[in-house]
A and B are shown apart, each in its own frame.
Chain A
Amino acid sequence: KQEVTQIPAALSVPEGENLVLNCSFTDSAIYNLQWFRQDPGKGLTSLLLIQSSQREQTSGRLNASLDKSSGRSTLYIAASQPGDSATYLCATYNTDKLIFGTGTRLQVFP
């Protein structure tokens, strides 16, 4: 059974810092891995989808990497801004089902 873990559970940083959020998973036989953002009281917004054949994906200030063999993914946020404050969830696709981690709650203060 796939288990997805995210570290740290919470993070508070000043504006401008570069951040690394970690995601680990126990079953490396995944199809893809996806990072989501969740704002309070809102649904999930997809940030980056990394296909199993890829090593990383980039979108603006966000970069996500995937190492299936070690069961790890990282989300790198460059030059963090207060608007980045949210919960970040990683999820693996096992067949067509998303298995979510517990999330990292990020607060970026001015």
Chain B
Amino acid sequence: EAGVAQSPRYKIIEKRQSVAFWCNPISGHATLYWYQQILGQGPKLLIQFQNNGVVDDSQLPKDRFSAERLKGVDSTLKIQPAKLEDSAVYLCASAHTYRSYGYTFGSGTRLTVV
């Protein structure tokens, strides 16, 4: 089966600009996660979707970050405006069902804010 697809692979932007990342989960996977991984740290959960509804966005900086999952399939994560500290790898993961422990991760998008 195809894996979790993410694009772009790399992005360099200036601070205060906006950026968007895209994720296409494995077909049929109802649960989708966005993680932020700052260099030298483990991934941190930003938001969790179940189909097209948000289950947990408690760690999403909502003043600048937003995410949506239209039609319960693809998802986009947006940052507006970006700050230097947003430089990180943004990982998308999907799982078949709620409380299914078989996560599959995408390769991530590496964001550099200058």
Binding site for B on A (CB under 8 A): 4, 6, 31-32, 34, 41-46, 49, 89, 91, 93, 95-103
Contacts and interface: CB of A to CB of B under 8 A. Distances in A.
Contact of A95 (B35, B99, B107): B99
Given A44-B91, A91-B42, A103-B42, A98 B56 contact: no
Nearest to A89: B42
A46 B106 contact: no
* Most chain A beta carbons < 10 A, residue from B48, B99, B101: B101
Contacts of B4: 43
B43 interface: yes
A44 B100 CA distance: 17
Contacts of A100: 35, 42-44
Given A44-B91, A96-B101, 9 more contacts: A34-B101, A41-B110, A42-B107, A42-B108, A43-B4, A89-B43, A96-B99, A98-B43, A103-B42
Interface string B99-113: 111110111101000
A32 B103 CA distance: 12
Contact of B91 (A41, A43, A99): A43
B103 A43 contact: no
A85 to B, nearest CB: 17
A34 B101 CA distance: 9
Contact of A101 (B42, B93, B98): B42
Nearest to A44: B105
